[in-house]
Every structure is written in structure tokens, then in C-alpha cells.
Structure 1
Amino acid sequence: MNKTFKIYAVIFIIIMVILALLEVNKKEVTDWRKNFDVNEKSPFGLFVFNQEVKHLFKNNFKKVNQSPFEYYNKNKAAPHNILVVESKIDTESWNKILEAVSKGSDAMLIVDDIPKEVSDSIGYYDSEISFDEKNILKLTDKQYQNDFITLDKFPSGKGFSYIKPGVEVLGKTVEEDNSDQANFIKVKFGKGTIYVHSEPLFLTNYYLLKSGNIKYAQDIFSYLDDKETLWFVESHSSEASRFFMRFILSKPALKYAWWIFLGGLVLFIFFNAKRKQRIVPIIDPLRNTSVDFVKSIGNLYLQEGDFHDMMAKKAQYFLNKIRMDLLIDTQNLDDDFAKKLHLKTGKTMEMINEAIELIKKAQDPYAGVMKEDLMRMNRLLDEILK
């Protein structure tokens, strides 16, 4: 075990001990942000409502992840209910919702902020805000007088500052130090009806899990007729799901493992920053001079014009190959030799007999040899050895 490895091991152990101490002493922190996310189990998420919404609408319910503008451009539906819970909706989508309502649909808008041009067309003006730390939400209908909900954690305090004639007030916010203000209204719009509630907190996990509060939510949705309900869910959750690290960062154990990995990688880079690879010298490979040597010898023979000696060496090389590769005895170049060579090489007897004649001529020291004989023998012998 070298010194560098020991350093790394000590650093790793120290980091693990520090993380373990932090984990043991860590206090659970509650996320009080108003996220209104259907997948969030934090106090102001909509996880519980998302689980129970089908029962509220008797399973005649559909959750839509598209914007109203995209959905209504692709789908032509019969009159239905529209549900919007604190979603960021563009003006074009609001116009599509109003168009659907005018044709006979009903819309339940549980939001604390609507574009002014939309609110004006519905029948109320800018909302007013109360800064009271405790709000009580009640309905005006006498049959719902005993059903109310108390908001004791960060209520928005929003209500409608001015309501046009013809708009019916269905609910209000009751405060100790302020006069009551409308927070739930109903207005006819074309052939349909629009319901607007300015306090979406009553649908969050924190309030729905409190005993008795679910009844207030049931009362609110009882105003909608018994027909299919489309809930347009804000698309921010689907955008987050496309982030490849979302799952890892959502789990504490995996998140710590990921940060440990990144920390170890940074330490590795830091301790190895000064280590540089030595320059490897470029060594030219050894040159194969055998081919040059053969060329030089060949040129020498050609310059001397000793074709007989070249034929003899070619014949000697050929017969040696026959003995080593084909295991044929080359002592007597007779008919028996020719037949064996014919059987093992598959060449014609005419070619083999012609080659044997040229070999014998090369072996005869007194035979007259010409350049054409050398070329013809070289071609035949190469062809036989293929």
C-alpha cells in the first residue's frame, strides 16, 4: 500500500464520518412552499387531492396534461366540466376555456390569480388581499352553513374587490378584524357556468388531511353537474421529469451518494493535477532491408546477363519447396515424379512436363539458356506453386 493510497483512504473515511454525523443530527425540514404539485407530498402539494379526486367525481373524471389550447385544438368534446387548480395558463388557453363554457360546459377555476381581461369578461375586477394570519372559509348556502374550513397556515387572503351585477356569491372569507369578502362566485357565461374560487389552499395536503375539511371540498364540487370532468394539470411536473437526475436527487440516500461521487472525483483531479505523462519519444520502426537486398541481387544478375545461373537457382528453390511442402522426392525427375506433382497440385500434365524440361535444362551446365527460357520457367513454376 503506497503513500498516495493511504492519503486517499484517510480522506474518504473522514468524509464518510462527517456525512454520517450530519445525517444523524439532521432535523427534518418541512417544505412550506405553495407548489400545488399533484406529485408532491409536502404540506402545500396536491398529492392527496390527486388520489381522491376520482371519488369526488364518481370516476367520471379525466386528467389532462396538455394545455387547454392544445387539447381543444385536437379534441371536440360534448359539454363537460372543466377543473383548473392554481395552474399557469396562457391567454390563448383561457380563451379556449371560455369558448368551451359558452357552448355549454361548466368551469371550476380554483386559482388566486386570473388575467385581467379574463376576470373582466367573467364579471369581477381585481382581487383584494387581507394579511390576517387566520381565515375561515364558509359557503353562503344555508344547507352548507355547518361546513367550513379554517386556514391557519399562510392563507393568501385573496377575495374579489368588486363584483358586477348578475354574479352570484357562493362563498366568503370570514376574518376577526376585517369585514367578510367574497372568495367563491358563480356567473353564467353563454350556455355554461363559471365558478371561481380565489383560495386554492383548501385542496392541499395539509388541509385535506385535517378532520372534517374534506366536507368543504365536497360542497364546492357539488355545484358541478354530474358529467365528465377534465382536470387541466400544470405541465411543470412533466418538465421536471425530463431532467435525468430528478429521481436521484429526489431520494436522500442516492443524492448523498451522488455528491460523494462528485466530491471524490474533484479530490482525484486535485491530487493528480501535477502528474503529467512523460513525452514518449517517437522511434522509427526498423526498416526491412531484405526486399532491397533481393532487388539489388536481382538487378546484379540482370546486369551480368547470367540467365543460366538464375534458372538453376530458381529450379533449386522450386524443388526444395516441392520436397518440404508436398513431400515429393525430387531426386529423379521422371514420369513418376510428374504424376505425383500432377495429383498434388492439380495442374495439367502438359504444364508439368514443360516445367520439368526447363528444370533439367537449368541443371545442365552445358545447356544454352536464353532470357525467354528464364521468363517462361519462372512463370510456369510460380503457377504450379499457387
Structure 2
Amino acid sequence: MRLYLIGTATILILYLVAQYYKPKPTDWTPSYHRDDKIPFGLYILNHEKENIFPGTLVTTSRLAVYNTLKDKNFSNTTYLFIAGELKFDKLDYQELVKFMNKGNNVFIAAFDLGSVLNDTLKLETNNVFNAGDKPERINFVNPLLKSEEGYVFDKGLSNQYFSGIDSSRCTVLGKNSNGDINFVKYTFGKGALYILPNPQLLTNYSLLKPAGADYAAKALSYLPASKELIWDETFTLGKINNDDILSVLYKYDQLRWAYYISIFGLLIFVIYEMKRRQRIIPIILPLQNTSADFVYVVGKVYYQQRDNSDIAQKKINYFLDHIRLTYRLKTIHPDEELISSLILKSEADEETVRQLFNLIHVIGTGIKVTDSQLIELNKLIEKFYNQSK
């Protein structure tokens, strides 16, 4: 057992060392986190926020939109959402509308805007399918921002567009080479809502290229200068109370696999110990039927008391009760009418029935019941049961 534990610990340590020193492959996970340096992280955008939003105080929020804005008097503020998927509920959307009506602005960059936004603004999104993996060309509508050659991005960064949109309610800010809208502005009171359905245009992979950096800077330049910017992290890191130990383990591959190996080793240990130390399962005998013993004991008690009258009276009572329940006959007065009706309904032998009732009459009028009378009574009752229906 000791050698088993030592061997397991040695294998675990060697695996952790090998995982620590092996070259790390490129992580293409779209985290959209401002501290991630992976291709689809937002480290560059976060690092350049002072140049993109000069003089603006940037804060982060991991609370629901409703909790962030409810009963807060924000002014000249921008709310920034960059994520793969947004899940606003109706209360969140109502607070965003109040927030914008006061002159604040909201900028959303996400593939999936959620059912509330899509249904309210009547938006539908789709992806451009390019045969041969040909990049899609996009551009701004504003002549002052429009590039002569347009912006081309690989890996499908700019392929998503609005396939369904009410253009009468919004201002079109950008389109792709097919004329499909991919950047819009909605006006709410004194503020505005900007929606970009391609969040990866703001990630490290895009901003490392001059065209990507230029496009992101121009897209964000639509936001007016503000004194504060709220950078939402609810849809990338989760709500502030959702952190636990397992989330840290699953975040890093080495810790995650070390956790899996530990669990697997623990299961092997439990199975091994269970086989070696399992107690012998006792043999449980089936329950015995003691009815015959009970009858024997009761019969022996009656035999020792030798109270034939009591036994005979009980047998007569049971017999008469059987007649009442089976043939629906009154047995208060065992007269000729009862005997005739019983013979007719039971179809038993008439001689047997008359002998039985004669004996019942003798026992009922007598003082003492002999052994022979009791035996004869029992025989006649059993004979009746066998003959009757």
C-alpha cells in the first residue's frame, strides 16, 4: 500500500514538471478579458485605453446591469460591453434605456446580443460564407472615416452582419462589401446605443495589425468624450460572487489535469481498498412460516383444558357465520326453513346437512359435549364444506 502511494505521488510530480516546462500552444479561446494576452483577449485595448479615451476614468463592473445602474445618477458616462454573448433581461434593458435617455452612451460588441435586444430592436444576425476562405471586406459609411480600400480581416473576424434590421430606427455606420449592415447606432433621448456584431475586431489579434488598430480606433471614436467609462466584465468573467476553487483549477490546463489525475488515483485507491478490506457479507436466512407451530400450540392448550363445549360452540359459530356470508341466510333460528334453503343453495347432500343440524341441536341443548360428539361435529362440518359449492 505504501509503495502504491509513493508511486502515484511520483507520477503526479513528474507530470506537473513536464507540463510546466513544455511549450504552450497558442490559446485561441475567445475570452474577451482585458488582462488576457491571448489572440482573442483585450490586453492591447485595455493597455491603450488612455489614448483611445483620453481624460476618461475607466472602471470595471462584474455586477448585473440592473444592479450597476439602478438608483445611480450617472452623467456623461459610457457603458462598454465586449463579449461573445450577452444575456440582458428586461430589467437590465430598461435600466440601459434610462441610462441613455439621460445623455449617456452604450457601446456593444458581441456575436449574440440576446433575445431581449434582438426582439426589442428587431435584429437578426448572420455570417458571410466565403468559398475558399476568402476574407470579407468591410468599411465605414461616413466619408471622413471611410477607407479607400476597405478593411480586410482573416479568420472570419468581420463576417457577421445584420441580416434583419429596421433601418428607419437606426443610423447605419458600417457595411461589408455586399452592402450588408455591420455597425449601427440607435438614438435614445440624449444618448445613443452603438452595436457592433463582430467583437473580435477589438481583440489583440486584430489590433496587432495596422488595419485592425485603425478600424477599432475609428469605431470607438463614435463615442463622445466622457468623464467615466464602465467596462463590463459580467459576461466574460461572470458575476462577482461566482468565483470558487474549482473555477481556478479549470482555468489552467496543468491544474485541471492534475486535478483529474488526483481524482482518478483516489478512485483506484478506494476500489483497491474496498476489495481488500470488505467484510464478509452475512447469510440472512429466510423468515420461517410459524403458522403451523402456532396452531399446534393453540390446539395443545385446548386439549389440555378439555373444554369440549367451548370448542364445539366456536366451531358451530364459525359454521353459521360461513352460512350467513356465503349463502345470505339467517341463522338465528336453525329451523326446517333454514335447512331446506341451505340444501338448495349449497347443493350439499341432504342427509349430511340434516345430521349436522341435528347434532348442533343436541350440543346446544346438552350440558356436556363428549369427545365422540366433538369429533363427529368436526367430521360433518368438513364433509359439508367438501360437498357444498
> What TM-score, normalized by structure 1, do the two folds share?
0.58
For 1:100, what is the secondary structure of its paired residue?
A: helix
1:153 aligned residue: 155
For 1:185, what is the secondary structure of its paired residue?
A: strand
Q: Percent identity?
A: 23
Structure 1: segments with no counterpart, 5+ residues: 280-386
Q: How does 1:180-195 map to 2 (within 5 A)?
A: 180-195=179-194
Structure 2: distance between partners of 1:46 and 1:266: 40
Aligned residues: 270
Say whether the 8 Å CA contact 1:79–1:104 is kept in structure 2.
yes
Compute the displacement of 1:226 (Å). Answer: 0.9
Q: Does 1:66 align with 2:63?
A: yes
Structure 2: segments with no counterpart, 5+ residues: 281-389
Structure 2: distance between partners of 1:251 and 1:53: 27
Amino acid at match of 2:195: V
2:246 aligned residue: 245
For 2:168, what is the secondary structure of its paired residue?
A: coil
Please give the per-residue CA displacement for 1:300-345, whole angstroms capped at 9, x wherever unaligned.
xxxxxxxxxxxxxxxxxxxxxxxxxxxxxxxxxxxxxxxxxxxxxx
2:103 aligned residue: 104
User: Which of 171, 191, 197 is 2:174 aligned to?
Assistant: 171
Structure 2: distance between partners of 1:243 and 1:131: 40
Question: Residues 151 and 269 (structure 1 numbering): CA distance in 2 closer, same or farther, change over 3 Å?
Answer: same
Say whether the 8 Å CA contact 1:129–1:158 is kept in structure 2.
yes
Structure 2: distance between partners of 1:254 and 1:113: 31
Structure 2: distance between partners of 1:114 and 1:12: 47
Say whether the 8 Å CA contact 1:38–1:47 is kept in structure 2.
yes
For 1:88, what is the secondary structure of its paired residue?
A: coil
Q: Does 1:265 align with 2:263?
A: no
1:56 aligned residue: 52
Question: Residues 33 and 91 (structure 1 numbering): CA distance in 2 closer, same or farther, change over 3 Å?
Answer: farther
Say whether the 8 Å CA contact 1:127–1:158 is kept in structure 2.
yes
Say whether the 8 Å CA contact 2:31–2:236 is kept in structure 1.
no
Question: Residues 265 and 193 (structure 1 numbering): CA distance in 2 closer, same or farther, change over 3 Å?
Answer: closer
Say whether the 8 Å CA contact 1:69–1:92 is kept in structure 2.
yes
Amino acid at match of 1:188: T
Q: Which moved more, 1:82-91 or 1:20-29?
A: 20-29
Q: How does 1:202-221 map to 2 (within 5 A)?
A: 202-221=201-220
Please give the per-residue CA displacement for 1:266-309, whole angstroms capped at 9, x wherever unaligned.
33333322443999xxxxxxxxxxxxxxxxxxxxxxxxxxxxxx
Question: Residues 7 and 96 (structure 1 numbering): CA distance in 2 closer, same or farther, change over 3 Å?
Answer: closer
Compute the displacement of 1:67 (Å). Answer: 1.9
Please give the per-residue CA displacement for 1:234-287, whole angstroms capped at 9, x wherever unaligned.
2551459612133344344444544443344333333322443999xxxxxxxx
Structure 2: distance between partners of 1:226 and 1:48: 20
> What TM-score, normalized by structure 2, do the two folds share?
0.58
Say whether the 8 Å CA contact 2:77–2:230 is kept in structure 1.
yes
Amino acid at match of 1:126: E
